[in-house]
Structure 1
Amino acid sequence: MKPAQCKPGAYASLLPGTRRAGIVATVSAVVCASSILAISPASAAVPAFPDNLVVFPDRDFVTIEGYQDRVGQTATVEVTRPNVGVIGSARSEVAAGDVAFEINHPGGVCWGAGTGVNVTPDIRPGDVVSIKFDGEAASAGEAKVQDTYVTAASERSGNTVTVNGYLGNGVSPDQLEQRIIEPALKDTGVGRRDVRALPGPLTPSDNGGYSSGLDISGNTFTATYVFEEQAAAELAASAAGARSMAWELTDVDGNRQGLTISEYGEPGGPGMGGCPNGPLQSGPAAPSNITAANVAGGIKLNWKPAAAIPGTPAITGYRAVAVGKTETLNEKEEIGKRISGAGATGTTITGLKSGEQYDVFVVGVSSVGETFPAAHAVPQTDSTAPTVSASPNGLTSPVPQTVTLAASETGSDIYYTVDGSDPVVSGGGLGDQAIRYEGPLNITTTTTLRFAAFDPSGNVSQISEATFTITNDPVPAAPAAPTAVAGKGTATLSWNAPNPGAEGLSISEYSVQAYTLDGAAFGAARSAGTATTFTYEGLAADTAYQFTVKAKNVNGWGAESNKSASMTAEGDIVAKAGPDQAVARRTTATTVTLDGTGSTTTGATYLWEQIPTGTTDPNKVTLAGATTLKPTFSLQVFKYPMTNSPLTFRLTVTAGGTVKTDEVRVTPVPDRVTVSSAQWKSGDFRISGTGSVIGATVTVRVGGPTGRSLGQVAVTAAAAPATGGEFSLRLRNAAAGTTNPGSIYVESTVGGTAGPILVTNR
C-alpha cells in the first residue's frame, strides 16, 4: 500500500483533540504512513482517516475531505434513500488541499454536475452518501446521515444558554456533540469562534470563558453553557444555526468518521446560483426517444416513458401538442392531447388542418407542474420499411430461452407467430394467428418464430424467421476455477459446486483435469465423485500445472471451469519459507521469527538470506540462526532513511546435491502520526500532534525528511474522552529562530511519518 499524500482536513477540528466540553480540537490531521485503518466491521464502508464524508442535511451540502492519493481523479458522489434509490448525484475532480471538493456550496459543484440527475436532493436522516471513483466497482466510502438536530432556537437566562435537540435511536450518544458558532466570540473571554458541549455534566473549558455539558434523556438532549461574561452569553444565544453533530464511528486511533452536521434554521435547496431546484420545486422529466410521424388523419407520436427522479413527485401522465408553423395576427394554431398514466408510450394527435406543417412538443406532468422546456419533435414523412431482429436469433439449447424482438424504428409495432404461419399477409393485413409483441418471449419447447414490424408511418418490414430447438436436457454449469495446493507429486484441489443445470437435477460426479503450462493435458481426467475437494496424484516433481473441473448430471458433462492459478508440484527436496508476515513496529526492537517448517528435513542444510533492495539497503537486518529452520532477526525502531517497505528473505535448502529455494516477505506496520498545529512567531515555535502508539518518540525536522532536527518529544496518552496519544514541542528564543521555517517533517520511532506540513505565522 503506497504512502498517503496527506493534507490537513477542513473539518479536522471536528476530529480527536477535544479533551472536554469547550476544548477546541486542533487536529488538522496529516497522516503519511503505509498502514491500514482498523474500524468496526459493522461500519466498514465509512471512509478511513484521513478521508471523510461530511454531510450538512439542512443545507443539502456535502464536503469530501482527504482522498489526496486521488488528486486529479474524477469521483461520483450519490445520495441514496433506502427503498427509493439515488435521489441526487454529482461528479467532480479531486483537488489538492484541505478539501477534495464540495457539492452545493460556493466554490464547489452543483448537484447534477456530470450525472444528469438535475435536482438538489432533500437530504434526510437515513440517507446514505457514497463516493466512487471512475473505473472502480467498489465504493470508496459511505456515510449514513445521522438522525439528530436542534429542535428550537437557543434560550438565554442571565449568563446561561441552553440548546434543546433530538437524537434518533440509531445515534450513539458517545458520538454526539452540540456546538454554537459565532465568530464574534473570539473577542470575548471564550477566545474562539465556537463553543462546544459534550455528553456529561458542566465542565470548564480548558481555554476558559465558559463551562458546558450535554444531558441526554431518551431521544432528547439539552446542551447547557454557563459563560463568565454576559456579553458572550448574549452572542451565543443570538447566533444562528446552532449545530447538532454526530459521527458514525471512532476508529482505533480516535479519529471520528462519517460526520453529520445539522444546523438549526438553515434553508435547503440550491446552495448557489445556477444549481437545480429541490425535488418539490423541480418539474418532471419529459419522455425520451420521441418520434413523430405524419400518418393518415394526424401525427402519430411514440416515446419512451419518463422516469421520475427518486425523491420527486410521481409522474402522472403527459401532454402532447402540435403547433402550426403558420402565424396569423400573432397567433398559431395549437391542438393536442392529455395522456394519463406514467407508463404511456405515445398517442396520435388528430383534427389537424390539411396542408399545415406542425412542430410537436411533449411534456411530463406531475403534481408540481410540467417539464420545462418541453421536448421537441418534428413530424417526418416516412416511406422506408423498418427491419426487425431476434436476440438470440435461433439456436439449439438444453434449457428454455428468453427471446427479445427489436425493430429498427422507435415506436414500431411488432407481431409474431409460433405456428409457422405468416404474421402479415398480402396487402399489409395481420395474419389470423398474429400476436402483438409486448416483451421478451419465454421459449420452452422447440419453436419457429416468424415476425414482422409496422413503423409509426405504417410501413411494414419483411417477415423474418428464427428456429429454437429446446432439448430440455440441461447439463451443469461450469464451476469457478479451482484452487490448488502443492504436495509431493500431488495437488490438493477445492472448488464450489456449480448450478446443477435445472431445478430437480443434481451433480453426480466431477472430473478434474491437469494441464502443463504449455497447455497440454497431463494424463487422464480424474473423477472426484460428489465431493468438492480432490487430491490429484502422480504429478511430475518440480513441474508447474494448472487444473480445471467439470461437473456431470444425468444429462451428461457440463463445460470445464477456467484454469486454476499455476502450481508447482513438490519433489523429494522441498523449500518452504512460510507465509508472508505483517509485523507491527514497537517502541523497542521487535524479534521476528522466520519459519521454514515444511521444508525437507532428512539430510538437508539450510541457508536464509535477506534479498537487498540495492547496493545499500536501509532496512538491512542481521539474521540469527541463518542455517536453521527458524532464524530470527531484530526489527529495530524506525529512523530515517529506514522505510516500511517489505523485507524479503530467501530460504535455500540443499540435500543430496539438489538445491531448492523459496521466499517470504515481512512487512513492517508503522504507527500513525499527525501534526495538529505548527505555529511560529519570532522566538516562539509550537508543534503539536497525535500518535497511535503511546511511548513512541517523535523527531521534528526542518528542511526535509533528512533535515536538521528541531527536537524530539514522547507521545503520551491523550486526556479523556480523546483516545490514542498526543505530543507537543515548544521551542523558545534562539531555538525558535527569527524566520518562519516554512515547512516541517516528523518521524516516529514506530515508523509513522508526516510531511511536509506548512508552518503558519501566529
Structure 2
Amino acid sequence: MNSKLHEPGGPRLRVGYGRAGTIAGVSAVLCATSLMAIPSASAAVPTFPDNLVVFPDRDFITIEGYQDRVGQTALVEVTRKGAGVIGSAQGVVTAGDVAFEINHPGGYCWGAGTGLNVTPDIQPGDVVSIKFNGADAGATTVQDAYVTEHSSLSGTTLTVRGHAGAGVNPAQMEQRIVEPALKDTSVGRRDIRAVPGELTAADGYSSSLVFGNDGTFTATYEFNDAATAGIAAAASGERAMAWEVEDADANRQGLTIAEFGELGGPGMGGCPNGPLQSGPVGPTDVKVAKVNGDVKVNWTPAQAIPGTPAITGYRVTAVGRTVTGHEQSEAGVRISDPRASSTTIKGLPSGEDYDVYVVSVSAAGETFPAVPFIAETDTTQPTVTASPGGGTFSTAQKLTLTANEQGCDIFYTVDGSDPIGSGGVAAEGATLYKDPVPVTDSGKFTFAAIDPSGNVSDKGSVEFIITNDPVPDAPAFTGAPVAGKGNATVSWSAPNPGAEGLTISGYTVQAFTEEGVAFGTGQKVAGDVTSLVYEGLAGDTQYRFTVRATNINGDGPESPMSDPVTVQGETVANAGPDQNVNRGTTATTVTLDGTGSTTAGATYQWRQVLASPTDPDAVTLAGSTTLQPTFSLPVYKYPMTNKPLTFELTVTAGGGAKTDVVSVTPVPDRVTAGQAQWKSRDFRVTGTSSAVGGTISIRVGGPGGTVIGTAPVTAAVAPETGGVFTLRLRDGNAPATNPGTIWVESTLGGTAGPITVVNK
C-alpha cells in the first residue's frame, strides 16, 4: 500500500509498504477479500503505486500516484447501488505522491467541474472510481469496518471496540490510535496499533486484536506505565483502516480509513453541503399563463440528486407586483405529490401582474433561491402529433401523442367523437392522455390538446388495423459490429420465425448516430443471411444498429441496439494491440505494429507519450517514421517504473491525419525478502524471485537510496520453483549499525520494501 494519509494538524504519514508487521503509518486497518458481500467496482482496484484512499467519515478522497497522468483531468465519482452517482468532482493530476484531493483543504470541492453540487455522505459499499477521458483508471469499494465507541481505560489497559462487516478478512485488519505526544513516551512513535492475535509486545506496550462471531472486534492495549496509557486514552479519532486488495508484491491497494467521531459534510469553505443539508433542485420547463382571472402553472417534475432526500412535493406562490405600504399581495398552494406537474392559483384580484415562484420541497427544505416566472397571456393554438400515424400492423402497437407546448393536456376518444366540448373543456367520455396507449385491436383515435392558457388545438385522428398475424421475434446480435472504411459489418442470430410453418423472408438493418437518430433508410438482406456489410456510413463516426426480421405477415419487432462502433475514415491509424513484455537481464527489443494503418500515399510518425520531460521511463524509438518501429526496454534501474509505456502513431494521408495509441507494459519479476538480519560485523538478507537470472540490489534510505550490496538470483532447489538470493556481508563490508529498513530492487524490475532489519 502506498498511501500518504493526512492527520488533522499533523504531517502526512506513509502507510503500508510491505506485509503486515512492516507497515509504517496511521490508523486502523482492514483488507476485505473478494467474498465481501458489497457491490464490486466496474473497474479494477488501482495498481501500485497508484491508489484511491477514502475517508468516509469526512467524505474526503485522496488520489495518489497517477504520475503518468500529470496535467490530465480526472473524473472521480462515488456510486451507490440503487442510487447511481451520488457525488463527483474533476481534478487535475499534479506531480508528487498525492495527485490531488477532494473535500480537503488545498484540494477540490465535490461538484468541481461536474455540476453535481453536493458533498456525498460516503457509506460502506459505495464505489469510488477514477476515469480519464471516460476510460476507467481504477475503483475501490468502501469497506465495512469502523470503531463504534471511544476507547475505555482501566488502569494501564486500553480497549477499543468496533464493527467488521461480513467478508472482512481478519488476517488483514489492524486498529490504530494516532497521538503525536506518544513520541515522547516509551512508545517512541506517534501511533500505536493492534494486529490480529493474542497480546504481542511492542515498544512501551503490548496489543491484541480479536474478532467476535457477531461482526465485532476488540483491540486491547497493555501499557508499561500509566502515564502513557493516559495519553493514548485522551487521543481522539480512533481509526479502522481497510485495504481492499493486496497484490503479489504485498502492496495494499484501495484503502478505507474510518475515523471515529469525525464529522462529514464540506471539508473546507465554499464546498457544497452534504445531502441532508442540501435543498432540493427545482422543477424545470416552468410555464405560467393567465387564464381569465387565474394563473395556471405547469412544470417538469424535479429529480432529486442521488444521495439527497427525496422530493416530496412543490410550493407555488404568486406575488403581486403592486407595493402598498411596503406590502405585496401573495397567494399560493402547497402540493404533496412529487409527481405533480401543474396547478392553478385561483381567486387572484383582476388587473394585477404577478411573479410566480415554483420550488421543490424535501426533508432538507426548499429550493433556494427560488426563480420568479412572469405570467403571460397566450393566444397561440397548440399542435398534436401521433406516432405511429395509423396503418395496418400484424401486431399490437403503442400510440404516442405529443403536444408542441409543455404543460398541455391531451384528450382522446375511440368512438370518433370530438374530445373537446363546448367552452374549450374536455368532452364527456374523453380520456386524458398520460402514457402511450396500447393498441391491441383495430380502431380509430381522435385527439386534441388544451394548453395552459386554454387554447385548443385542431382535432386529429389516426386509424389502426391490427391483424394479429404472427411475425418473427426480434433477432439478437452475435457480437460487436466490426469497423471498416466507410462501413461496418454486423451479424446476428436467426430468431423464431413466428409460428410453425412460417419462414423469415428477410432482415432490415438500421444504423443510428451517436445521438440515437436513424441514419438514412435501413439496408436489407434475404432471410437466409444473418450478416450485413452496412455501406455508406460516414468515416470517423460512431454508429449503433438494430435489426428486425420479416415474414409473410409483416415486420417483427426491432432488436435492442448493438454495441457502438466507430467507422474508419479515409485515413486510418492503427497502432496495433497492447503488449506485455517481460523485463530481461539484458535490454529487450520491442516492435510496435502499425500495419493495420493506411498504406497508400501515407506518412507515419510515432512518439512516446511521456509524463514529463524527465520521465525516467523514456526510451528511444528506432524507425519512428515506419510502420514497425522498435525500441529497447532497458534493464530495470531506479527511478524507472513498471508503468505502461504509451506510444502514439500519427498517420497522414490525403490531406488528413489520424492518431492511435498503444501501450507496452513491462512485466517485472516478483521479489520478496524472507529474512533481514544484522549483528556487529555480520549482515544477511535472503529472499525469492519469480524469475531466475536477475541481480538483486539492497538499498538503504529509500527506493533510490544507497546500494549496500548485490546478489545474483539463482534457481531454487526442487521441488521449489523460481529463484532465490542470499546477500551476506561480513566484517568490514557489513554495515556498522543496523540499517533499520531496507529496500530490494531487481534488475528484472521487481521491488519490495521497506523491510525491517532485525537484530540477531
- Asked if these proteins are the same fold (TM beyond 0.5), I'd say yes
Cα distance in 2 for partners of 1:108, 1:729 equals 47
Cα distance in 2 for partners of 1:734, 1:148 equals 47
1:142 to 108, 119, 139: 139
1:174 partnered with 2:171: yes
Cα pair 2:118 2:274 within 8 Å, conserved: yes
Cα pair 1:480 1:498 within 8 Å, conserved: no
1:198 partnered with 2:198: no
The alignment partner of 2:322 has SS state of: strand
Query: CA, structure 1 residues 265+506, in 2 after alignment: closer, same or farther (shift >3 Å)?
Result: farther
Look up the match of 1:13.
14
Look up the match of 2:459.
463
Query: CA, structure 1 residues 426+316, in 2 after alignment: closer, same or farther (shift >3 Å)?
Result: closer
CA shift, 1:98, in A, is 2.3
Q: 1:61-80 maps to which residues of 2 (within 5 A)?
A: 61-80=60-79
Look up the match of 2:668.
671
CA shift, 1:353, in A, is 1.5
CA shift, 1:494, in A, is 13
Q: Deviations over 1:506-559 (max 9, x none)?
A: 99689999xxxxxxxxxx98959xxx99xxxxxxxxxxxxxx999786758989
Look up the match of 1:369.
365
Look up the match of 1:24.
24
Cα distance in 2 for partners of 1:525, 1:290 equals 51
Query: CA, structure 1 residues 415+734, in 2 after alignment: closer, same or farther (shift >3 Å)?
Result: farther
The alignment partner of 2:406 has SS state of: coil
Q: Deviations over 1:617-660 (max 9, x none)?
A: 6659xxxxxxxxxxxxxxx98789999999xxxxxxxxxxxxxx
Look up the match of 2:181.
184
Cα pair 1:304 1:345 within 8 Å, conserved: yes
Look up the match of 2:99.
100
Cα distance in 2 for partners of 1:527, 1:410 equals 47
Cα pair 2:399 2:436 within 8 Å, conserved: yes
Look up the match of 2:160.
163
Cα distance in 1 for partners of 2:416, 2:689 equals 77
Cα distance in 2 for partners of 1:200, 1:453 equals 75
CA shift, 1:295, in A, is 0.8
Query: CA, structure 1 residues 404+211, in 2 after alignment: closer, same or farther (shift >3 Å)?
Result: same
1:333 partnered with 2:329: yes
Query: CA, structure 1 residues 668+361, in 2 after alignment: closer, same or farther (shift >3 Å)?
Result: closer
Cα pair 1:54 1:62 within 8 Å, conserved: yes
Deviates more, 1:230-239 or 1:214-223: 230-239
Query: CA, structure 1 residues 189+440, in 2 after alignment: closer, same or farther (shift >3 Å)?
Result: same
Q: Deviations over 1:52-93 (max 9, x none)?
A: 332222222222333444444444433333344443333334
Letter in 1 for 2:96: G
Deviates more, 1:124-133 or 1:322-331: 124-133
1:153 partnered with 2:150: yes
Q: 1:271-286 maps to which residues of 2 (within 5 A)?
A: 271-286=267-282
Look up the match of 1:215.
210
Look up the match of 2:261.
265
Cα distance in 2 for partners of 1:728, 1:186 equals 34
The alignment partner of 1:185 has SS state of: helix
Q: Which runs of 5+ in 2 are unaligned?
A: 6-12, 27-32, 482-488, 509-524, 532-545, 566-576, 589-620, 646-661, 674-684, 715-722, 736-742, 753-760
Cα distance in 2 for partners of 1:85, 1:666 equals 31
CA shift, 1:241, in A, is 0.4
Q: Deviations over 1:33-56 (max 9, x none)?
A: xxxxxx969867442313333222
Q: Deviations over 1:393-447 (max 9, x none)?
A: 5566554333432222221111234455544468745556643211122334455
Cα distance in 1 for partners of 2:665, 2:108 equals 41
Cα pair 1:477 1:499 within 8 Å, conserved: yes
Q: Percent same amino acid among aligned pairs? A: 53
CA shift, 1:673, in A, is 7.9
Q: CA RMSD in A?
A: 5.4
CA shift, 1:708, in A, is 13
Look up the match of 1:297.
293
Cα pair 1:20 1:203 within 8 Å, conserved: no
Q: Which runs of 5+ in 1 are unaligned?
A: 1-6, 27-38, 485-492, 514-523, 534-547, 566-578, 591-611, 621-635, 647-664, 677-687, 718-723, 737-744, 755-762
Number of paired residues? 598
CA shift, 1:162, in A, is 2.8
Cα distance in 2 for partners of 1:325, 1:589 equals 81
Look up the match of 2:46.
48
2:398 to 397, 402, 421: 402
The alignment partner of 2:349 has SS state of: coil
Cα pair 2:2 2:16 within 8 Å, conserved: no
Cα pair 2:382 2:456 within 8 Å, conserved: yes
Query: CA, structure 1 residues 76+613, in 2 after alignment: closer, same or farther (shift >3 Å)?
Result: closer
Cα pair 1:9 1:66 within 8 Å, conserved: no
Deviates more, 1:665-674 or 1:139-148: 665-674
CA shift, 1:286, in A, is 2.8
CA shift, 1:97, in A, is 3.0
Q: 1:236-251 maps to which residues of 2 (within 5 A)?
A: 236-251=232-247
CA shift, 1:234, in A, is 3.1
2:382 to 362, 380, 386: 386
Q: 1:400-479 maps to which residues of 2 (within 5 A)?
A: 400-424=396-420, 428=424, 430=426, 434-445=430-441, 448-466=444-462, 472=468, 473-479=470-476
Cα distance in 2 for partners of 1:494, 1:375 equals 50
The alignment partner of 1:331 has SS state of: coil
Cα pair 1:46 1:258 within 8 Å, conserved: no
Cα distance in 2 for partners of 1:144, 1:728 equals 40
Q: Deviations over 1:287-316 (max 9, x none)?
A: 222211111121111112223344444333
Look up the match of 1:89.
88
Cα pair 2:287 2:299 within 8 Å, conserved: yes
Query: CA, structure 1 residues 268+9, in 2 after alignment: closer, same or farther (shift >3 Å)?
Result: closer
CA shift, 1:465, in A, is 4.5
CA shift, 1:714, in A, is 5.2
The alignment partner of 1:233 has SS state of: helix
Cα distance in 2 for partners of 1:555, 1:18 equals 69
Query: CA, structure 1 residues 315+442, in 2 after alignment: closer, same or farther (shift >3 Å)?
Result: same
Q: 1:107-126 maps to which residues of 2 (within 5 A)?
A: 107-126=106-125
The alignment partner of 1:91 has SS state of: strand
CA shift, 1:242, in A, is 0.9
Cα pair 1:582 1:669 within 8 Å, conserved: yes
Cα pair 1:510 1:549 within 8 Å, conserved: no
Q: Deviations over 1:80-118 (max 9, x none)?
A: 333444433333344443233322222223333344443
Query: CA, structure 1 residues 467+359, in 2 after alignment: closer, same or farther (shift >3 Å)?
Result: same
Look up the match of 2:9.
none
Cα distance in 1 for partners of 2:367, 2:347 equals 25
Query: CA, structure 1 residues 225+454, in 2 after alignment: closer, same or farther (shift >3 Å)?
Result: same
The alignment partner of 2:321 has SS state of: strand
CA shift, 1:588, in A, is 11
Q: Deviations over 1:232-251 (max 9, x none)?
A: 43332211101011222222
Cα distance in 1 for partners of 2:405, 2:548 equals 44
Cα distance in 1 for partners of 2:644, 2:310 equals 56
Query: CA, structure 1 residues 124+527, in 2 after alignment: closer, same or farther (shift >3 Å)?
Result: closer
CA shift, 1:272, in A, is 1.8
The alignment partner of 1:77 has SS state of: strand
